[in-house]
């Protein structure tokens, strides 16, 4: 008998532990183009204590551990590169606390975006969180761990800038807390204790975040989207600069794509506005469309397409079916806004070279401190050739991000290598030391960010 | 290329200048009007070409049926005056390019209803009123093969209509329809008014949706129970191309016992929904559209309407949220008729609106 | 069988496994797909099933009893079809049913499924009970054998044999008798409608059942059928016409509602209970009928009708579909859908869970027992509630 399997069953219960070919198959795949790699076991724990026991077991037996949230990163970040135990965290799905006045929520790591949206809508209609536009099955924690961005990224930055506290199971099996919760008080601030930035952006190679506190923001009564259309990509950086100067929008996205035809060769800038009254809304609209963008309309350079009340949250995406093939993957680059024209032109070239209708999207982060520029490549899961083409396009795009002076967001293995090759030696050295101390056996999500 | 049949003599001898003096969006006296019309006729620039909000109404105002609006758009295009900023023009040009393959052509040899570019509104053509009709353009992915293209009148791009419309007509004709009921009256206007004005041949018989609904209701008369709902009607710009069919609005309301409220902005005085105005290049267009919408909706509200009835899906989309905010239910004519024959309830249109 | 021969080979790869299919309408949780709610492994999600089916047909994985159980744990409740935003969504359940048909064809189904189907083949019911016991539920009341009556009352297997469901059959018959409805039953000549057989992928047996029933109905001159079960309603309404069986089919709630509206049944007793209605998916998501049962409940004297958070097209299935009311591949855990449903009703303060399906009745009744909530909550069929309010 398999003693590790039995030990895992003892921890989580037989029903939530498997080493059967069916689970091994499903959990070996990511939804993007990454090659599958088989885990040896799959477990689905319900408590932090169970997770702690799993980690201790893995440490004692020197087995890789691969934590999995919604499994929707598309970059293959939860593929068990070296086998081991996949920990499906989706049963860790309690919303523990929402503090209305201090505007934060404490949740477990398996809470999905859809669940949190629905919960806040029902119980705290004045509060909202920054929703990333991933399918609603994506977890809130997963989005934060990879430094994702949501529909409040413009005023408030990356989702990981919204963390107010963490509970983490370390590869040693120790459970630690970061932020005011470490003092046993509320989960309302991550500062001003000494900074321990060890878990965000590390792709779960330093520990398993089990609980987190996140900032919530005012949910105004009216939320909607207005659209402005521009043909000349060179104008986008200055237009974004001007719109962000107003400090008014909740979210700003620019997109262009080959299909449907109306979007081809044009740049649609969608601007989300929120208000508690018609008066407030019209004030904001006037500032944006008339005072800020009026000159572009007058000069035939831009057009106001209208404003639609009501936001679709969670957003419903049909991107995966672009090629009627059930697949797409994208490279996200965190880029300076000024690179927009190059991102667009070069991205189009890469798409066209690989025979994929181009799709590019930029979400403005902070007051245009940067943007997340996504180059999306659809493929047909039943056609190896299209997968190969998409994969090549993705690799070329990873290189483009670096070339244009950006930083690859949530890179897959290929992109991680590009980044590591260029990392400042001092930085690389410190990361190595941290990793050696915190995970000396290298059991956490091995294959990712391998500096040693 | 097709040429507009326009009789300029009629303008030289016209005493009314109704096309411009009646315009709801420009304040023009007779003398100025005459002057400007003749400039337009001669192909010269006129402020009218820049100020026009493209509401189509002058097509109806002209007592001689001389197509002043088509002429305005012809001249706008010739002089490079586009009412909308160029990026919106490009977007509009692209929007109706079919890209999902060719439609499947089945020969029908019977009456059809053409949804045009509104395939997603199949649920508005249900029940006994539409029994026996085959639907063409029922697939959203193929609908631009059936799109009448008249929208480009708002964009100063009349050449595009002339270029594309014959292909659309040929696609419809391939279905061998006995007659084509046009879901949107813009399509009806295209196959009647526009094609007549340009001598484009239409090998099928277009039927206006309201005329069709009226005749079906007559046949189903025994089922009709008066609905006694107070209604307003939002007349779309395209109705100006077929004013002779506008009377069916009243006829249908009478037949189903809907009470048409009296209001300022109806019939010839109807106001544009504002959709096309809000993005125009002219300064203040967004606010102008909001102001028109405010006037229009307040008028509907003050007249006491419970329901606002639409023919045009674009008007519906533009005004429905604003109407609902004032507790006025937006609905399509077909759904209102279905209430009268007991197929759906008042509550259903409340929910579906 | 290879992937290329599979009826849905051109679309099965289009599932991205984005997971919309796990949610109810309002995104409250990821537990609205019954097998996923029960097992919470990706292999049991709707996307997992489709990917595993494709992997099996592609020979990336081998058939196993466990693989078959994963496929047969789907209750075909169509929550996935409501939530999936992609164009192939209308065929999601068809893909599962087709994959099962392949397993049946190859003789590779789990034992519970095999027994279920074999019993239907041999005894005309999934319980393996004697045909003569089909009329046990009528004990104590006089019901005509169908003989040219206006309606045939088709009770079906669960309502005929299951002790709990029999009570709802009896209540329904008593209401119809009291209202003076002209109806008769087939008694021991009744045989399984085949709805589950169809969805379990046993197309051959389904055809036999459909042809047999159609022949019987036609021979007896049946034109209008009232069904106790939404499952039979679905089979007669949606499957039988392609075998030449064209009948006017009503679920019993349609009939009760019209009897109430025309005053042919009148209430005499109060039913002062906090009540929620649990939508059966063969009325709801499969046939778009959400309001008729509610219309009946709304007029029950003194009832306090409430809505569960997951209602109508967002309702959680009881876990009994696709033969699971008998095979119970989803049972045995506090995560079982029926037990989740019971807790949901209890947490909102309901005293009664009203159902309009004998399978839901059985599943939820068992779940109440398993949760130890007998003294807190009961499940009643709408027929029983109406009978009680009519003092029958």
Name the closest residue on chain A to residue C16, using Cα atoms.
A326
Q: How many Cα atoms sit within 13 Å of A248 on the Cβ side?
A: 25
Chain centre to alpha carbon of residue C213: 19
B96 φ, ψ to 5°?
Answer: -100, 20
Of the three residues C258, C288, C321, the one that is the final residue of a domain is C258
Find tokens 């508690």 and name the residue. A276
Q: Is residue A377 part of a domain?
A: yes
Verify whether the Cβ–Cβ distance A303 to B88 is below 8 Å. Answer: yes
Output the domain CATH number for residue A116.
3.30.465.10
* pLDDT at A322 (0 to 100): 83
Which tokens belong to C97? 């049913």
Which tokens belong to A296? 């572009």
User: Is A360 in contact with A421 (CB distance < 8 Å)?
Assistant: no
CA proximity to C240, closest of C272, C217, C220: C217
* Cα gap B69→B59, rounded to integer Å: 6
Of the three residues A195, A218, A241, the one that is the final residue of a domain is A218
Verify whether the Cβ–Cβ distance B87 to A303 is below 8 Å. Answer: yes
Domain range for A7 is 3-88
Q: pLDDT tens, A311-324?
A: 889 988 888 888 88
Note if the bond before A314 is cis, omega within 30 degrees: yes
A326 and A271 part of one domain = no
CA proximity to A317, closest of A350, A359, A348, A357: A359
> H or E segment at A422?
helix A413-422
Distance from CA of A343 to the nearest CA of C (A): 27
Which tokens belong to A255? 């997109």
- Cβ-Cβ contacts under 8 Å, A263 against chain B: 94
Q: pLDDT tens, A352-409?
A: 999 999 999 999 999 999 999 999 999 999 999 999 999 999 999 999 999 999 999 9
- Cβ-Cβ contacts under 8 Å, A321 against chain C: 14, 16, 86-88
Cα torsion C148, C152, C157, C162: sign: negative
C129 and C248 part of one domain = yes
Give the percent of chain B with pLDDT over 90: 97
A101 and A196 part of one domain = yes
Q: At what angle do helices C291-298 and C252-261 cross, to 10 degrees?
A: 40
Which tokens belong to B122? 């199949």
Chain centre to alpha carbon of residue B89: 19
Alpha-carbon distances, residue A397 vs A237, A392, B193, B285 (angstroms): 21, 9, 52, 41
Alpha-carbon distances, residue B228 vs B216, B223, B261, B336 (angstroms): 20, 15, 12, 11
Of the three residues A287, A309, A331, the one that is the final residue of a domain is A309
Pairing relation of β-strands A163-169 and A175-179? antiparallel
Q: Which of B94, B286, B321 comes nearest A290 by C-beta?
A: B286
A229 and A213 part of one domain = no
- Check whether A270 has a pLDDT greater than 70: yes
Q: Is residue A175 part of a domain?
A: yes
Name the closest residue on chain A to residue C50, using Cα atoms.
A26
Note if the bond before A260 is cis, omega within 30 degrees: yes
C80 and C158 part of one domain = no
A121 and A75 part of one domain = no
Q: pLDDT tens, A349-358?
A: 999 999 999 9
For residues A189-215, average pLDDT: 94
A208 and A253 part of one domain = no
Find tokens 């009329």 and name the residue. C135
User: Is C153 in contact with C189 (CB distance < 8 Å)?
Assistant: no
C251 and C117 part of one domain = yes
Residues 6+ apart with CB under 8 A from B56: B69, B153, B237, B238, B240, B241
Q: pLDDT tens, B37-57?
A: 999 999 999 999 999 999 999
Q: pLDDT tens, C42-59?
A: 999 999 999 999 999 999
- Cβ-Cβ contacts under 8 Å, A234 against chain B: none
Name the closest residue on chain C to residue A17, using Cα atoms.
C41
Contact map slice: A 287-326 vs B, CB within 8 A: 289-290, 294, 296-298, 300-306, 309-310
DSSP state of C244: T
* pLDDT at A187 (0 to 100): 97
* pLDDT at C372 (0 to 100): 97
- Cβ-Cβ contacts under 8 Å, C88 against chain A: 321
- Cβ-Cβ contacts under 8 Å, A44 against chain C: 40-41
Q: pLDDT tens, A280-309?
A: 999 999 999 999 999 999 999 999 999 999
Verify whether the Cβ–Cβ distance B91 to A285 is below 8 Å. Answer: no
C271 and C373 part of one domain = yes
Q: Is residue A446 part of a domain?
A: no
Q: Does A61 touch chain B (CB under 8 A)?
A: no
Q: Cβ atoms within 10 A of the Cβ of B348, count?
A: 14
Verify whether the Cβ–Cβ distance B84 to A303 is below 8 Å. Answer: yes
C200 and C249 part of one domain = yes
Alpha-carbon distances, residue A75 vs A376, A394, B189 (angstroms): 12, 10, 52
Band of residue C267 on the pLDDT scale cut at 50, 70, 90: very high
B82 φ, ψ to 5°?
Answer: -105, 130
For an interface test with C, give the residue of A137, A330, A380 to mutate (most C CBs within 10 A): A137
pTM: 0.95
C325 and C204 part of one domain = no
* pLDDT at A360 (0 to 100): 98
Of the three residues C224, C258, C292, the one that is the final residue of a domain is C258
Distance from CA of A267 to the nearest CA of B (A): 9
Residues 6+ apart with CB under 8 A from A425: none
Q: Cβ atoms within 10 A of the Cβ of B6, count?
A: 16
* Cα gap B162→B150, rounded to integer Å: 9
Q: pLDDT tens, A54-80?
A: 999 999 999 999 999 999 999 999 999
DSSP state of C315: P
Domain range for C227 is 112-258
Of the three residues C241, C258, C275, the one that is the final residue of a domain is C258
* Cα gap A196→A209, rounded to integer Å: 13
- Cβ-Cβ contacts under 8 Å, B287 against chain A: 286, 290
Q: How many Cα atoms sit within 13 Å of A317 on the Cβ side?
A: 20
Q: Does C42 touch chain A (CB under 8 A)?
A: yes
C117 and C251 part of one domain = yes
User: Is C155 in contact with C137 (CB distance < 8 Å)?
Assistant: yes
Greatest extent of chain A over all pairs of C-alpha atoms, in Å: 77
Cα dihedral angle (C268, C274, C276, C277), rounded to 10 degrees? 0
Q: Which parts of A3-91 are beta strand (E)?
A: 17-18, 41-43, 65-68, 85-88
User: Is C306 in contact with C11 (CB distance < 8 Å)?
Assistant: no
Q: Is residue A427 part of a domain?
A: no
Pairing relation of β-strands B111-114 and B179-182? parallel
Strand order from edge to edge, sheet including A41-43: A17-18, A41-43, A85-88, A65-68
b/e sequence A212-240, b meaning 16+ C-beta within 10 Å: bbbbbbebbeebbbbbbbbbebebbbebb
Verify whether the Cβ–Cβ distance C19 to A70 is below 8 Å. Answer: yes
Q: Is residue A429 part of a domain?
A: no
Q: Which of A229, A282, A294 comes nearest B88 by C-beta?
A: A229
For residues A140-161, average pLDDT: 97
For residues C275-289, average pLDDT: 97
Band of residue A1 on the pLDDT scale cut at 50, 70, 90: low
Residues 6+ apart with CB under 8 A from A443: A58, A59, A62, A63, A64, A65, A84, A171
Q: pLDDT tens, A74-120?
A: 999 999 999 999 999 999 999 999 999 999 999 999 999 999 999 99
- Cβ-Cβ contacts under 8 Å, C67 against chain A: 22
- The domain total for chain A is 4
User: Is B343 in contact with B128 (CB distance < 8 Å)?
Assistant: yes
Q: pLDDT tens, B91-127?
A: 999 999 999 899 999 999 999 999 999 999 999 999 9
Tell me which chains share at least 3 CB pairs under 8 Å with chain C: A
Band of residue A452 on the pLDDT scale cut at 50, 70, 90: low
Chain centre to alpha carbon of residue B273: 11
User: Is C314 in contact with C308 (CB distance < 8 Å)?
Assistant: no
Chain centre to alpha carbon of residue B70: 15
DSSP state of C41: S
* pLDDT at A324 (0 to 100): 85
Verify whether the Cβ–Cβ distance A262 to B286 is below 8 Å. Answer: no
Q: Is residue A367 part of a domain?
A: yes
* pLDDT at B313 (0 to 100): 97
- Check whether C291 has a pLDDT greater than 90: yes
Q: Is residue A406 part of a domain?
A: yes
Verify whether the Cβ–Cβ distance B94 to A309 is below 8 Å. Answer: no
For an interface test with B, give the residue of A226, A303, A321, A324 to mutate (most B CBs within 10 A): A303
User: Is A372 in contact with A408 (CB distance < 8 Å)?
Assistant: no
For residues B53-69, average pLDDT: 97
Residues 6+ apart with CB under 8 A from B232: B260, B261, B263, B266, B300, B303, B305, B307, B308, B309, B328
Which one is predicted more confidently, A321 or C160? C160
C170 and C280 part of one domain = no
A125 and A187 part of one domain = yes
Of the three residues A43, A67, A88, the one that is the final residue of a domain is A88
> H or E segment at A228?
strand A222-230
Residues 6+ apart with CB under 8 A from A223: A250, A272, A273, A274, A309, A310, A311
* pLDDT at C130 (0 to 100): 95
Verify whether the Cβ–Cβ distance A72 to C19 is below 8 Å. Answer: yes
A239 and A169 part of one domain = no
Interface of A with C (CB under 8 A): 15-16, 18, 20-23, 25-27, 29, 31, 42, 44, 70-72, 88, 90-91, 93, 112, 114-115, 117-119, 121, 135-137, 314, 316-318, 320-321, 324-328, 380-382
Residues 6+ apart with CB under 8 A from A265: A231, A256, B90, B94
Greatest extent of chain C over all pairs of C-alpha atoms, in Å: 64
Q: For chain A, how many residues are written?
A: 452
Q: pLDDT tens, B306-338?
A: 999 999 999 999 999 999 999 999 999 999 999
- The domain total for chain C is 3
Output the domain CATH number for residue C221.
3.40.50.1860
Pairing relation of β-strands A95-99 and A104-108? antiparallel
Note if the bond before A192 is cis, omega within 30 degrees: yes
DSSP string for A258-279 = SSSGGGTT-EEEEEEEEESSHH
Q: Does A230 touch chain B (CB under 8 A)?
A: yes
Band of residue B353 on the pLDDT scale cut at 50, 70, 90: low
Counting Cβ atoms within 10 Å, is residue B57 exposed (0-12), middle (13-18) or buried (19+)? buried
Contact map slice: A 231-250 vs B, CB within 8 A: 231
CA proximity to B343, closest of B125, B135, B183: B125
A78 and A113 part of one domain = no
Verify whether the Cβ–Cβ distance C28 to A16 is below 8 Å. Answer: no
**Planar angle of CA B79, B8, B28, nearest 5 degrees:** 70
Which tokens belong to C198? 């169809």
A10 and A84 part of one domain = yes
Tell me which chains share at least 3 CB pairs under 8 Å with chain A: B, C
Q: pLDDT tens, B205-234?
A: 999 999 999 999 999 999 999 999 999 999
CA proximity to A397, closest of A344, A355, A324: A344
**Planar angle of CA A324, A328, A329, nearest 5 degrees:** 175
C251 and C136 part of one domain = yes
Verify whether the Cβ–Cβ distance A137 to C20 is below 8 Å. Answer: yes
Q: Is residue A440 part of a domain?
A: no
Q: pLDDT tens, C211-221?
A: 999 999 999 99
């Amino acid at each position: 008998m398999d003693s590790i399997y039995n030990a895992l069953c003892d921890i989580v219960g037989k029903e939530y532990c498997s080493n059967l070919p069916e689970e091994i198959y499903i959990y070996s795949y990511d939804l993007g183009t990454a090659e599958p790699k088989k885990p040896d076991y799959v477990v689905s724990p319900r408590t932090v204590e169970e997770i702690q026991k799993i980690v201790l077991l893995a440490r004692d037996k020197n087995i890789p551990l691969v934590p999995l949230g919604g499994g929707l990163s598309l970059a293959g970040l939860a593929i068990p590169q070296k086998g081991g135990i996949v920990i499906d965290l989706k049963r860790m799905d309690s919303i523990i606390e929402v503090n209305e006045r201090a505007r934060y929520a404490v949740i477990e790591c398996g809470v999905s975006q859809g669940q949190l949206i629905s919960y806040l809508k029902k119980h705290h209609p004045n509060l909202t969180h920054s929703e990333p536009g991933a399918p609603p099955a994506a977890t809130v924690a997963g989005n934060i761990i990879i430094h994702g961005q949501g529909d409040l990224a413009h005023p408030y930055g990356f989702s990981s800038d919204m963390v107010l506290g963490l509970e983490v199971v370390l590869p040693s099996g120790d459970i630690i807390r970061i932020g005011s919760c470490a003092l046993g008080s509320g989960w309302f601030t991550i500062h001003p204790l000494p900074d321990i930035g060890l878990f965000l952006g590390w792709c779960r190679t330093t520990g398993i975040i089990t609980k987190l506190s996140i900032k919530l923001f005012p949910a105004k009564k009216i939320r909607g989207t207005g659209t402005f259309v521009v043909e000349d990509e060179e104008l986008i950086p200055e237009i974004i600069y001007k719109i962000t100067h107003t400090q008014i929008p909740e979210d700003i996205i620019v997109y262009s794509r080959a299909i449907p035809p109306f979007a081809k060769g044009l740049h649609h800038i969608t601007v989300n506005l929120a208000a508690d009254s018609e008066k407030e809304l019209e004030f904001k609209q006037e500032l944006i469309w008339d005072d800020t963008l009026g000159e572009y309309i007058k000069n035939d350079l831009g057009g106001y397409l209208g404003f639609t009340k009501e936001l679709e949250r969670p957003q419903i995406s049909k991107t995966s079916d672009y090629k009627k093939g059930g697949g797409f993957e994208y490279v996200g680059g965190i880029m300076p806004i000024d690179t927009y024209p190059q991102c667009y032109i070069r991205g189009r070239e890469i798409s066209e070279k690989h025979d994929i209708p181009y799709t590019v999207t930029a979400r403005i982060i902070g007051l245009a401190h940067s943007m997340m520029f996504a180059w999306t490549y659809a493929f047909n899961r039943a056609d190896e050739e299209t997968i190969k083409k998409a994969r090549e396009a993705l690799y070329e795009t990873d290189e483009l991000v670096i070339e244009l002076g950006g930083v690859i967001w949530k890179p897959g293995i290929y992109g991680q290598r590009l980044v590591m090759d260029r990392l400042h030696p001092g930085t690389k050295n410190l990361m190595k030391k941290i990793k050696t101390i915190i995970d000396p056996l290298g059991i956490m999500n091995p294959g990712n960010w391998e500096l040693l | 290329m097709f040429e507009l049949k326009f009789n300029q003599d009629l303008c030289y001898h016209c005493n009314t200048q109704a096309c411009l003096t009646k315009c709801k969006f420009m304040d023009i006296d007779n003398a100025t009007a005459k002057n400007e019309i003749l400039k337009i006729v001669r192909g010269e620039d006129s402020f009218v070409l820049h100020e026009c909000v493209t509401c189509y109404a002058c097509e109806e105002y002209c007592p001689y049926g001389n197509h002043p609006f088509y002429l305005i758009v012809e001249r706008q295009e010739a002089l490079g005056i586009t009412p909308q900023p160029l990026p919106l023009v490009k977007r509009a040009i692209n929007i109706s390019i079919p890209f999902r393959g060719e439609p499947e052509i089945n020969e029908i040899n019977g009456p059809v209803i053409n949804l045009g570019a509104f395939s997603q509104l199949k649920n508005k053509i249900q029940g006994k009123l539409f029994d026996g009709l085959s639907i063409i353009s029922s697939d959203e992915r193929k609908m631009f093969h059936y799109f009448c293209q008249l929208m480009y009148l708002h964009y100063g791009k009349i050449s595009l209509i002339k270029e594309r419309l014959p292909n659309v007509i040929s696609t419809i004709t391939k279905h061998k329809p006995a007659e084509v009921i046009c879901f949107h009256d813009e399509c009806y206007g295209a196959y009647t008014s526009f094609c007549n004005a340009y001598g484009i041949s239409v090998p099928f018989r277009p039927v206006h949706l309201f005329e069709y609904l009226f005749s079906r209701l007559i046949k189903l008369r025994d089922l009709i129970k008066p609905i006694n709902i107070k209604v307003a009607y939002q007349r779309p710009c395209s109705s100006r191309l077929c004013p002779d069919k506008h009377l069916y609005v009243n006829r249908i309301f009478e037949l189903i016992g809907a009470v048409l409220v009296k209001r300022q902005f109806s019939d010839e005085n109807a106001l544009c929904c504002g959709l096309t105005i809000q993005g125009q290049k002219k300064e203040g267009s967004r606010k102008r559209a909001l102001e028109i919408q405010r006037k229009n909706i307040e008028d509907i509200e003050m007249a006491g309407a419970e329901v606002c009835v639409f023919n045009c899906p674009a008007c519906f989309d533009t005004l429905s949220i604003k109407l609902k905010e004032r507790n006025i239910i937006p609905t399509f004519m077909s759904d209102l008729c279905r209430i009268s024959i007991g197929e759906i309830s008042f509550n259903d249109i409340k929910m579906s609106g | 069988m290879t992937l290329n021969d599979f009826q849905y080979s051109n679309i099965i790869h289009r599932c991205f496994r984005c997971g919309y299919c796990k949610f109810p309408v309002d995104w409250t949780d990821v537990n609205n797909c019954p097998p996923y709610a029960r097992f919470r492994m990706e292999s049991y999600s709707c996307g997992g099933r489709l990917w595993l089916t494709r992997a099996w047909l592609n020979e990336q994985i081998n058939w196993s009893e466990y693989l078959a159980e994963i496929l047969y744990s789907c209750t075909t409740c169509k929550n996935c079809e409501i939530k999936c935003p992609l164009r192939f969504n209308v065929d999601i359940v068809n893909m599962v049913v087709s994959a099962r048909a392949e397993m049946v064809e190859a003789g590779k189904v789990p034992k519970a499924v095999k027994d279920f189907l074999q019993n239907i083949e041999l005894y005309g019911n999934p319980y393996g009970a004697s045909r003569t016991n089909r009329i046990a539920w009528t004990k104590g009341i006089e019901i005509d054998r169908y003989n040219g009556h206006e309606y045939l009352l088709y009770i079906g297997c669960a309502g005929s044999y299951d002790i709990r469901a029999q009570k709802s059959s009896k209540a329904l018959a008593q209401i119809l008798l009291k209202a003076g409805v002209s109806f008769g039953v087939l008694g021991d000549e009744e045989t399984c409608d085949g709805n589950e057989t169809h969805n379990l992928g046993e197309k051959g047996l389904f055809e036999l059942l459909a042809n047999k029933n159609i022949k019987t109905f036609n021979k007896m001159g049946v034109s209008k059928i009232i069904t106790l079960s939404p499952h039979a309603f679905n089979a007669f309404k949606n499957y039988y016409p392609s075998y030449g069986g064209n009948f006017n089919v009503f679920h019993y709630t349609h009939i009760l509602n019209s009897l109430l509206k025309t005053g042919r049944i009148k209430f005499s007793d109060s039913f002062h209970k906090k009540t929620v209605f649990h939508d059966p998916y063969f009325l709801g998501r499969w046939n778009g009928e959400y309001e008729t049962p509610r219309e009946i409940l709304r007029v029950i004297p003194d009832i306090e009708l409430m809505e569960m958070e997951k209602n109508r097209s967002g309702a959680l299935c009881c876990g009994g579909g696709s033969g699971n009311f008998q095979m119970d591949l989803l049972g045995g855990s506090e995560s079982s859908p029926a037990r989740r449903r019971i807790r949901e009703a209890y947490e909102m303060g309901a005293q009664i869970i009203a159902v309009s399906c004998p399978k839901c009745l059985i599943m939820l009744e068992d779940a109440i027992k398993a949760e130890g909530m007998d003294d807190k909550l009961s499940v009643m069929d709408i027929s029983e509630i109406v009978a009680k309010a009519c003092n029958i």
